[in-house]
DNA sequence: CTCCTGTATCTTGATATCAAGATATACAAC
DNA sequence: GTTGTATATCTTGATATCAAGATACAGGAG
């Protein structure tokens, strides 16, 4: 009996007129995301990094050389607002992990470029982070893990979660 | 090709030495949770409510008469820290949706009780909220939804997500 | 060229959250 | 009883986030 199952039982007592079956899926989805995030935060904290910092560094890192994205591209990749992106860049710039480079052709655009220090910080923790995620998933059986992944792929499709459009050149 | 699949492709180019398969599950899990949360927030906003406000009201509502939990019980049910609970109670008290009642036997304890207004607010939006969740899930096929739910149940079990212990009397 | 509209980023103000510590109370051991 | 330890809530300070608006620039229409 997990937490969400218990909540659903309570509702069947208190509001038998409501069909709370969506909670079985969506309630657990958000709870599991929160629980896993706590574990992930813990691993990054051991390496003097916040999860949001790794998100930025990893977004730049995986974009390939020259490890540079515009502020707007970061907005869309990380699903955050532009104000938050500004704040994140500023803090990472202060740590020396990224630098701002104004676009020469379009002066509105800011290119955020990973520094060598930033790349090192990202690469140094990436393996540990993935091992942690692997260990979490290893707690489930193979069959269930496949079901979960298949279901999430279908959900991503259903919600139209496409990657942010590449910049037009 | 969803966003996470695209990210994994990028990693296979940039860091072919890393096995990023955990992203297929955990990356999608957190992304889907965030996307769904946005839709849920929108529905509550249309009814002049924040998601966290509904969380509190619903926690109290489903506990049954007299619709009362202690601050600590709310901490554990909602997976938030005690400072956040204090803040939430204060704001909901100002809206007249809950009231604080000091325990007579143990003066440290605060009972948070749903008012009639609070119960009405919760019940009024609950149906719409569930319809919204149902509509989201209806975007996937039945088979995939079952797989997803089964996988999440297994994950909750694996992470030991038990309901918060009932108070000892 | 000038105007207009759209776009990219940043700023501002409000707020939700957490970590750490403060306060008040209960309870057990002596 | 007194003392010490554990518990429940609240306070404080820092910070991450968002919404809305400001600023700066681009690019097309005339």
Q: Is B148 in contact with A151 (Cβ distance < 8 A)?
A: yes
pLDDT band at B168 (very low <50, low <70, confident <90, very high): very low
DSSP B159: T
Tokens of B114: 């749903």
Å between A4 CA and nearest CA of chain B: 8
Q: Is residue B167 part of a domain?
A: no
- Give dist(CA A35, CA A50) in Å, integer: 16
Task: Say whether pLDDT at A165 is over 90.
Answer: no
Closest chain A residue to B1, measured at CA: A162
pLDDT value at residue A168: 47
The tokens of A60 are what? 């730049």
* Cα separation, B12 vs B10, whole angstroms: 5
Residue with tokens 């470029």: A113
Tens of pLDDT, residues A31-82: 999 999 999 999 999 999 999 999 999 999 999 989 999 999 999 999 999 9
Helix (H) or strand (E) holding B68: strand B68-70
Residues B64, B110 within the same domain = yes
Helices (H), ranges, chain B: 3-14, 21-22, 28-45, 51-62, 71-78, 82-94, 116-137, 142-158
Quote the pLDDT of residue A8.
98
Establish if B56 belongs to a structural domain.
Answer: yes
B84 CA, D13 C1': separation in Å? 14
**What percent of chain B clears pLDDT 70, i.e. is strictly above it?**
98
Report pLDDT for A45: 96
Beta-bridged to residue A102, according to DSSP, are: A110
Q: pLDDT class for B93, splitting at 50, 70, 90? A: very high
- What pLDDT does A116 receive? 97
Largest Cα–Cα separation, chain B: 65
Q: How far apart are CA A115 and CA A57, in angstroms?
A: 10
What total number of domains does chain A contain? 1
Strands A98-102 and A110-114: antiparallel
Closest CA to B147 of A22, A119, A65, A145: A145
Average pLDDT, chain B: 95
Q: Give the whole-angstrom CA distance, residue A74 versus residue A86.
A: 10
- Where b means 16+ CB within 10 Å and e means fewer, A94-125 reads eeebbeeeeeeeeeeebbbebbeebeebbeeb
| Contact state of B10 with A64 under an 8 Å Cβ cutoff | yes
How far apart CA A35 and CA A42 sit, in angstroms, is 11
Q: Say whether both B113 and B35 belong to one domain.
A: no
pLDDT at A167 over 80: no
Nearest CB to B37 within list A11, A30, A133: A30
Closest Cα in chain B to A145:
B151
Find which of A10, A148, A150 to mutate to test the B interface (most B CBs within 10 Å of its CB): A148
A115: containing domain: 21-157
pLDDT per residue as tens digits for the range B27-68: 999 999 999 999 999 999 999 999 999 999 999 999 998 999
Can you give the pLDDT at residue B166?
Answer: 63
Query: Could you tell me if B144 lies within 8 Å of chain A, comparing CB atoms?
Result: yes
Average pLDDT over residues B109-124: 97
Could you tell me how many CB contacts below 8 A there are between chain A and chain B? 231
List all nucleotides in chain C with at least one atom under 7 A from a protein Cβ: 6-13, 16-21, 24-27
Task: Note the pLDDT of residue B165.
Answer: 76
Indicate whether B104 belongs to any domain.
yes
Q: For residue B110, what is the DSSP state?
A: E
Q: Check whether residue B56 and residue B37 sit in a common domain.
A: no
CATH number at residue B152: 1.10.10.10
- Is the minimum distance from the CB of A169 to strand D below 7 Å? no
| A140 neighbourhood in chain B, CB within 8 Å | 151, 154-155, 157-158
3-state secondary structure of A129: helix
Residue B32 sits at the vertex; the CA angle it makes with B38 and A90, to the nearest 5 degrees, is 70
Helix B28-45 crosses helix A142-158 at what angle (to 10 degrees)?
A: 50
Among residues B46, B61, B77, which one ends one of the domains? B46
Please check whether residues B114 and B130 belong to one and the same domain: yes
Residue to substitute from B33, B59, B114, B146, interface A, most A β-carbons within 10 A: B33
Q: Which two tokens stand for residue A54?
A: 């790794």
Interface of A with B in 56-75 (CB under 8 A): 61-64
Instruction: Let me know the angle formed at the C-alpha of B97 by B91 and B99, rounded to the nearest 5 degrees.
Output: 80
Cα B83 to Cα B76: distance, rounded to the nearest angstrom: 12
Tokens 């909901």 -> residue: B92
Which residue is nearest nucleotide C24, judged by alpha carbon to C1' distance? Answer: B108
- Say if A38 falls within a structural domain: yes
DSSP string over B11-45: HHHH-TTS--HHIIIIIHHHHHHHHHHHHHHHHHH
CA–CA gap between residue B30 and residue A37 (Å, rounded): 8
Nearest-Cα residue of chain A relative to residue B38: A79
pLDDT confidence bin for B154, thresholds 50/70/90: very high
Instruction: Answer for A86: CB within 7 Å of strand C.
Output: yes
Does residue B14 carry a pLDDT above 50? yes
Say how many C-beta atoms besides its own lie within 10 A of residue B2's C-beta.
Answer: 22
- Report the chain B residue with the minimal C-alpha distance to residue A15: B62
Rounded to the nearest angstrom, the minimum Cα separation between B99 and chain A is 21
CB contact under 8 A, A3 and B148: no
* Domain identity same for B54 and B23: no
Contact A129, A121 (CB under 8 A): no
Asked if residue B27 and residue B64 are part of one domain, the reply reads no
Q: Which two tokens stand for residue A77?
A: 């990749």
What is the DSSP-derived secondary structure letter of residue A25?
I
Inside any domain, residue B76 = yes
């Amino acid at each position: 009996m997990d937490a969400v199952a218990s909540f659903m039982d309570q509702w069947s007592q208190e509001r038998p007129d409501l069909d709370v079956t969506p909670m079985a899926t969506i309630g657990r989805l958000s709870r599991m995301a929160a629980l896993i995030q706590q574990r992930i935060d813990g691993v990054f904290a051991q390496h003097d990094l916040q999860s949001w910092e790794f998100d930025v560094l990893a977004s730049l890192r995986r974009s390939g050389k020259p490890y540079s994205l515009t502020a707007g591209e970061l907005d869309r990749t990380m699903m955050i607002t532009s104000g938050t992106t500004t704040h994140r860049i500023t803090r990472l710039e202060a740590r020396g992990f990224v630098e701002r480079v104004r676009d020469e052709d379009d002066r509105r655009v800011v290119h955020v470029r990973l520094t060598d220090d930033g790349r090192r910080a990202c690469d140094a923790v990436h393996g540990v982070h993935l091992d942690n995620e692997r260990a979490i998933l290893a707690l489930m059986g193979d069959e269930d893990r496949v079901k979960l992944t298949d279901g999430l792929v279908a959900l991503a499709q259903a919600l139209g979660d496409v990657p942010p459009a590449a910049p037009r050149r």
